[in-house]
């Protein structure tokens, strides 16, 4: 069942909306820390990877986002062919991008967009995610060319099991991997690149 757009959007915390110089502090959540932990057989659904191909201003479409299907992925194959022909710029355009999607307990939001103690879904580029010490409270600050990630040195993550609000099953938030749509999008991109 698809939820109304405003409900879907209310589940997300969008770091890209942070003004430059502002920060958000959060803690990654595991299923054992959530009120609804019985809904999750293990912690496997609390952090997922979303591997995509993304194109901006292609033809009449401002943005195309397609899930990567790994083996036989036409976008990955095209990237590889561009790299093999020393067309690195085009290879980079077609190369897959990896994001991590996770449940986060918002500890402090300098913008006031989100109340402390609220559980939100956050999606970050894998390179940013890999800089995080997930055993601590994370401070993410918007800087001129991206984000600065710091573990709050005084704050070790302390969430009592079953006492941190409900978490979301993240599987529906992964980009669609419908093979027919991927082929259609590939043909569209190739026609307009």
DSSP tag of 12: B
Cα–chain center distance at 101:
4
- Name 51's bridge partners: 98
Give the chain's domains with CATH numbers: 13-192 (3.90.198)
Backbone angles phi, psi at 188, to 5 degrees: -65, -45
**What are 17-50's pLDDT values in tens digits?**
999 999 999 988 766 666 555 555 554 457 888 9
Q: State pTM to two decimals.
A: 0.79
Mean pLDDT for the stretch of residues 80-86? 97
- Report which of 184, 146, 148 is spatially closest to residue 25, judged by C-alpha positions: 148
Which tokens in the block code for residue 17? 């909306």
Which tokens in the block code for residue 180? 């027919």
């Amino acid at each position: 069942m698809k939820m109304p757009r405003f409900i879907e959007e209310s589940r997300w915390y969008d770091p890209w909306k942070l003004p430059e110089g502002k920060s958000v502090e959060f803690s990654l959540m595991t299923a054992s820390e959530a009120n609804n932990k019985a809904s999750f057989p293990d912690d496997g659904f609390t952090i997922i990877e979303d591997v995509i191909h993304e194109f901006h201003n292609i033809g009449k479409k401002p943005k195309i986002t397609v899930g990567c299907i790994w083996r036989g992925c036409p976008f990955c194959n095209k990237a590889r062919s561009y790299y093999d022909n020393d067309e690195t710029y085009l290879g980079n355009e077609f190369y897959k991008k990896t994001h991590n999607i996770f449940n986060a307990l918002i500890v402090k939001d300098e913008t006031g967009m989100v109340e402390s103690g609220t559980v939100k879904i956050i999606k970050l580029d894998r390179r940013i995610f890999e800089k995080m010490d997930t055993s601590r409270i994370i401070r993410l600050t918007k800087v001129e060319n991206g984000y600065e990630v710091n573990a709050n040195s005084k704050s070790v993550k302390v969430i009592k099991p079953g006492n941190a609000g409900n978490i979301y099953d993240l599987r529906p938030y992964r980009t669609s991997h419908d093979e027919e749509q991927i082929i259609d999008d590939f043909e569209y991109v190739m026609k307009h690149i």
